[in-house]
């Protein structure tokens, strides 16, 4: 019991020391002024979260993406670039690793044959990682377990892959869902619907942050 009491008593000043260090670091951290959202994700200080001009964003397509669907991904990226007049994405080949999607310093697009059973209605998921107000990494996962996709001829009951990826690349850039009519950032993409043209809503949001 004496040893335990001694150990506990030794922890207290150490804990206080760490609290003092963290308080000092917090006081020295840069204070960011709140910004208007412009339909972007915002951090805890209400700053827009984006790549802050650090484009083009280097991406790899994971080997899990079938060859016949890769062209739709590249076309989705081109749709953003044509509408904004900026080079936003640079594809750096195929990721042949077996690593799962996680924060690892690489931006990768995955095609998953197994999906979270509690989120079967989710067509895709984009995860962005940021520090302060700057995005440092993004991973895009496509749900290939619960959905099928088409690229050219409309096939009822399936999802237009280019439209889906256009939407997800909007998230990569930092955009949130936008329920305005005609926006590619609407939260729901109906089966066989074509929604791959960047609207004025997205362009205005993009200009707010990237121009």
Give the pLDDT confidence of 44-96 residue by residue, as tens digits: 999 999 999 899 999 999 999 999 999 999 999 999 999 999 999 999 999 99
Chain segment 169-198, per-residue pLDDT in tens: 999 999 999 999 999 999 999 999 999 999
Chain segment 84-135, per-residue pLDDT in tens: 999 999 999 999 999 999 999 999 999 999 999 999 999 999 999 999 999 9
Helices (H), the chain: 2-28, 67-84, 161-173, 200-210
The alpha carbon of residue 137 and the mean position of all alpha carbons in its chain are separated, in whole angstroms, by 8
Rounded CA-CA distance 142/109 in Å is 8
Cβ contact 50:40 at 8 Å: yes
User: Which pLDDT band holds residue 5 (cuts at 50, 70, 90)?
Assistant: very low
Pairing of the two strands 124-131 and 134-143: antiparallel
pTM metric for this prediction: 0.85
Fold of 57-210: Collagenase (Catalytic Domain) (3.40.390)
Assign 93 to helix, strand or coil.
strand
């Amino acid at each position: 019991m004496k040893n335990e009491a001694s150990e506990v008593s030794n922890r207290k000043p150490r804990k206080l020391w760490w609290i003092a260090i963290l308080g000092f670091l917090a006081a020295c951290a840069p204070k960011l002024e709140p910004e208007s959202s412009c339909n972007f994700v915002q951090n805890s200080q209400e700053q827009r979260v984006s790549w802050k001009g650090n484009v083009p964003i280097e991406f790899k397509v994971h080997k899990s993406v079938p060859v016949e669907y890769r062209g739709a991904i590249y076309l989705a990226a081109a749709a953003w670039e044509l509408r904004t007049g900026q080079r936003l994405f640079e594809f750096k080949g195929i990721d042949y690793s077996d690593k799962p999607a996680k924060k690892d310093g690489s931006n990768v697009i995955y095609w998953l044959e197994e999906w979270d059973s509690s989120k079967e209605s989710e067509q895709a998921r984009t995860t962005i990682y940021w520090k302060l107000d700057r995005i440092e990494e993004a991973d895009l996962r496509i749900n290939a377990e619960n959905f099928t996709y088409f690229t050219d001829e409309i096939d009822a009951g399936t999802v237009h892959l280019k439209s889906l990826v256009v939407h997800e690349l909007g998230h990569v850039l930092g955009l949130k869902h936008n329920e305005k009519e005609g926006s590619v950032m609407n939260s729901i993409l109906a089966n066989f619907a074509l929604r791959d043209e960047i609207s004025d809503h997205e362009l205005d949001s993009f200009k707010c942050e990237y121009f």
